[in-house]
């Protein structure tokens, strides 16, 4: 869990089981976000200006949740919004994940987290919760009846708790 110390210093303490689960989740999240670009048929100017992104919302509900429709009522505006923003947003999410994953390498049970790393942790944890919540079909509109022992709910609650300790440590 995250704790704040003197001078605003943040520390993260995880046991081996937590480290294993988080490392695996962050690795899976990176795999979900990595998306090979097709070089064939790409307009070089569009690529240089970062305008060669997808214009379609993902069929994967989790990716659609991470990269929502910018203009649900306007198909053309939505396509343009996605083409101009999704690649940068994807790169930002991957950069946050890389920072978080790097902080877990050579783990010794506890580490200090800078303010910038804390922001990356917040982004990565939030994205994990969005993906897991989507996979578990957790929504604001429908109250789902989950089994008390369902591992996915325990994991979702753990990520929520971890994110909460980080927010508390930052405030």
Residue-wise pLDDT tens digits, 23-76: 999 999 999 998 654 444 456 665 666 555 667 777 888 888 988 888 888 888
Confidence at residue 38, expressed as pLDDT on a 0 to 100 scale: 43
Long-range CB contacts for residues 48-53, cutoff 8 Å, separation at least 24: 50/84, 50/87, 50/88, 51/83, 51/84, 52/83, 52/87, 53/82, 53/83, 53/84, 53/85, 53/86, 53/87
Q: Which residue has the higher pLDDT, 106 or 143?
A: 106
Predicted confidence at residue 139, as pLDDT, reads 75
pLDDT above 80 for 8:
no
Q: What is the pLDDT of residues 65-119, one digit of tens each?
A: 988 888 888 888 988 888 888 888 999 999 999 999 998 887 887 888 888 999 9
d(CA 130, CA 153): 13
For the entire predicted model, the pTM comes to 0.81
Q: What is the DSSP letter of 11?
A: E
pLDDT score recorded for residue 23: 93
């Amino acid at each position: 869990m995250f704790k704040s110390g003197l001078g605003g210093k943040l520390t993260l303490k995880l046991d081996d089981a937590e480290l294993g689960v988080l490392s695996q989740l962050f690795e899976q999240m990176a795999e979900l976000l990595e998306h090979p670009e097709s070089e064939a048929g790409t307009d070089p100017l569009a690529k240089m200006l970062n305008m060669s992104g997808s214009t379609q919302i993902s069929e994967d509900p989790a990716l659609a949740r991470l990269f929502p429709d910018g203009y649900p009522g306007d198909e053309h505006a939505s396509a343009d919004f996605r083409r101009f923003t999704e690649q940068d947003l994807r790169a930002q999410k991957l950069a946050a994940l890389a920072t978080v994953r790097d902080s877990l390498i050579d783990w010794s049970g506890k580490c200090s987290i800078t303010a910038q790393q804390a922001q990356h942790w917040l982004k990565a944890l939030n994205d994990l919760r969005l993906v897991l919540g989507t996979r578990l079909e957790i929504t604001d509109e429908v109250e789902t009846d989950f089994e008390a022992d369902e591992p996915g709910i325990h994991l979702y609650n753990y990520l929520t708790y971890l994110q909460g300790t980080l927010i508390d440590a930052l405030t």
